[in-house]
Amino acid sequence: MASLLEKVHTLIAANLHALVDQALQANSLAVLDQYIRQVQDNLEDLEDAAATIGGEVKTLKRKYDEFAAKAAELDRNIDLMLKEGKEELAIAAQSKLNSTQRLADEYKAQYERQQVEYQKLLDAKLKLEAKLTTVKQERDELQALLDLARSKELTTKTIQSLDNLVGSGDRDIARIAESIRARLDKASARAEMQATRLDVQMDELLERHTLETQLAERKKRLGLA
């Protein structure tokens, strides 16, 4: 269990800025896709572990309740026995009460320990799900940026080819090439505007993540967490 939580905490602590930078530098989403796969695999493991521990918590709680109820009943019976002068029965019942109470205490201690572990798993699951949502959003933004970049590269290559046609000497070919070139220039300008807007959105998203982290640290320092 500790090993699973360590892996999850490592994924939660992953620097998304660094992942995004790697994806941009490599002009590929592979690094983000790999991270997403790791998160999804660990989420499945977390869900299985949480279900197992959650089942154990319910079982231990039920056992504790059963033995606590038996202990309470024995305690009442001992009082009745003593009032009726049944000393020997009271002694036997007291011995049984002691062992029953020990078992109840043991089940309670186990239940409380497992409850803590169960809550850790649930908290880790929520944090990892939030991280997965964020990185998927950033992946979509990066996909759009990379698509625009590839489109612009293709446009640039086409324009270069048309430039050669413009100077080829055939007036009809030159006129058609110039017309196509004008349309490509317009498409390229539109792509640049879209890319700029996506760049701003990406910066806002990453900056928001930084600001939220700073505020969380400040709340923790002020005891507001």
Q: What is the pLDDT of residues 1-40, one digit of tens each?
A: 658 888 888 888 777 778 777 777 777 788 888 889 989 9
Angle in degrees, CA 133, 138, 139, rounded to 5: 95
Please enumerate in sequence order all residues whose Cβ is within 8 A of that of 101, keeping only pairs 6 or more positions apart, or say none: 67, 71
Our count of domains for the chain comes to 1
**Quick one: pLDDT at residue 9?**
82
**C-alpha separations of 219 from 10, 119, 206, 214 in Å:** 23, 22, 20, 9
Please enumerate in sequence order all residues whose Cβ is within 8 A of that of 158, keeping only pairs 6 or more positions apart, or say none: 180, 184
Amino acid at 218: R
**Quick one: pLDDT at residue 111?**
94
Mean pLDDT computed over 77-88 = 90
Higher pLDDT, 104 or 181: 104
pTM surpassing 0.75?
no
Contact 111, 60 (CB under 8 A): yes
Amino acid at 152: K
Mean pLDDT of the chain: 79
Burial class for 121, CB neighbours closer than 10 Å (0-12, 13-18, 19+): buried
DSSP 14: -
Q: In the structure, what pLDDT confidence band is assigned to residue 92 with cuts at 50, 70 and 90?
A: very high
Q: In the structure, what pLDDT confidence band is assigned to residue 65 with cuts at 50, 70 and 90?
A: very high
In a 13 Å sphere around the CA of 31, the CA atoms on its Cβ side amount to 17
Asked whether the predicted pLDDT for residue 160 surpasses 60, the reply is yes
Asked whether the predicted pLDDT for residue 210 surpasses 70, the reply is no
Tens digit of each residue's pLDDT (9 = 90 or more) over 112-128:
999 999 999 999 999 99
* SS3 state of residue 46: helix
Mean pLDDT computed over 72-96 = 91
Q: How far is CA 185 from the centre of its chain?
A: 42
The domain in which residue 133 lies consists of 2-221
Q: In 10 A of CB 151, how many CB atoms? A: 15
CA distance 93 to 86: 11
Give which of 133, 181, 134 is closest to 157, Cα–Cα: 181
Asked whether the predicted pLDDT for residue 45 surpasses 60, the reply is yes
